């Protein structure tokens, strides 16, 4: 019997590529990688050329039983678009729903959508983590576009019978991570003093291997169909604790200065860095108990081990 074929969009991205490699290692499914440029995946598995938002999806679904849709327009540094929300909608809503409709017409059984916790909102109150059943409250263009895509996908699923699984991760980290998490490692590696030694928030994050493990489970788990699933490492930390644990993983002594969070917020407001300070000081927790119970799943990698693997990869890359 041939292995089920799984199409992964955004296969050159951080999450998509990790999913393809996991599928290759597991050998229970045959991955097909949808890519828009040259990729190191070519030669390892079948690849098809496709760009998010393209109306031509005829090359994508030959023999495909499951789609894992990772491709998305994410935050753009130095954004120049006049209508930012329109640009996010074009890729993340129109592109996603076009893909899903064609997938359903082609007989795809299940569509797994990698959404975002930003659909729930930007922050949580102390002791009140987000639940999958919470009313959506997206605030920025990215979160709004992800929510609108979810709603459209639910309608397509009802109309066509194609099973839908929605996964909402918080910040994803791991070997090769970029953006703010990479900056954090650089600060710690260089022993910069950081005014983040007294932040008592709580944040949920997810290691790339834990997220990928859940995605693989969702490919054929019968209880995943029709679900909105939240995911994290199962351990929440303050910004201070995360920096302390990351410093240990890097073999460094942290230089965290105990500046009160309220003072940081004032400085952020005066310097035009309000959003950055909010991300560092606000809480954002997710409750994954329903995900774990529904799928009999637990995150396979502890946060400390995940941070060690991330730190080791970063330090190895610096030596090259």
How far, in Å, CA of 288 to CA of 272, rounded? 34
Contact 146, 153 (CB under 8 A): no
Would you please indicate which residues are annotated as catalytic (active-site) residues?
Answer: 142
State the maximum Cα–Cα separation within the chain, in Å, rounded to a whole number. Answer: 64
Angstrom distance (rounded) from CA 259 to CA 17: 39
Cβ-count burial 264-278 (b if 16+ within 10 Å, e if not): bbeebeeeeeeeebe
User: DSSP E strands: which ranges in the chain?
Assistant: 5-9, 30-35, 46-49, 64-69, 110-114, 163-168, 171-173, 205-207, 228-230
Count of other CB atoms within 10 angstroms of residue 127: 8
Residue 314: how many other CB atoms lie within 10 Å: 21
Q: Beta partners for 7?
A: 32, 67
> How many other CB atoms are found less than 10 A from the CB of residue 110?
22
């Amino acid at each position: 019997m041939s292995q089920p074929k799984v199409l992964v969009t955004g296969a050159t991205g951080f999450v998509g590529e990790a999913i393809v490699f996991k599928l290759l290692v597991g050998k229970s499914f045959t991955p097909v990688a949808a890519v828009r440029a040259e990729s190191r995946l070519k030669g390892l598995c079948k690849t098809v050329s496709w760009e998010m938002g393209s109306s031509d999806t005829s090359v994508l679904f030959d023999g495909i039983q499951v789609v894992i849709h990772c491709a998305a327009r994410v935050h753009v540094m130095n954004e120049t678009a006049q209508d930012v929300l329109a640009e996010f909608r074009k890729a993340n809503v129109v592109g996603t729903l076009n893909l899903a409709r064609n997938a359903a017409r082609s007989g795809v059984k299940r569509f797994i959508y990698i959404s975002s916790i930003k659909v729930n909102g930007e922050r949580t109150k102390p002791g009140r983590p987000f639940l999958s059943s919470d009313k959506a409250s997206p605030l920025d263009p990215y979160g709004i576009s992800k929510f609108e895509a979810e709603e459209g996908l639910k309608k397509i699923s009802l109309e066509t019978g194609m099973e839908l699984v929605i996964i909402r991760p918080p910040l994803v980290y791991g070997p090769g991570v970029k953006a703010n998490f990479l900056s954090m490692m650089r600060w710690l590696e260089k022993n910069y003093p950081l005014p983040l030694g007294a932040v008592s928030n709580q944040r949920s994050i997810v290691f790339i291997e834990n997220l990928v493990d859940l995605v693989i489970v969702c490919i054929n788990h019968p209880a995943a169909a029709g679900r909105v699933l939240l995911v994290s490492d199962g351990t929440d930390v303050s910004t201070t604790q995360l920096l302390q644990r990351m410093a240990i993983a890097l073999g460094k002594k942290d230089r965290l200065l105990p500046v009160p969070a309220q003072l940081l917020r004032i400085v952020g407001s005066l310097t035009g860095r309000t959003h950055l300070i909010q991300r560092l000081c606000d809480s954002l927790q997710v409750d994954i108990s329903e995900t774990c119970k529904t799928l009999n799943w637990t995150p396979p990698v502890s946060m400390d081990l995940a941070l060690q693997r991330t730190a080791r990869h970063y330090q190895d890359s610096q030596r090259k």
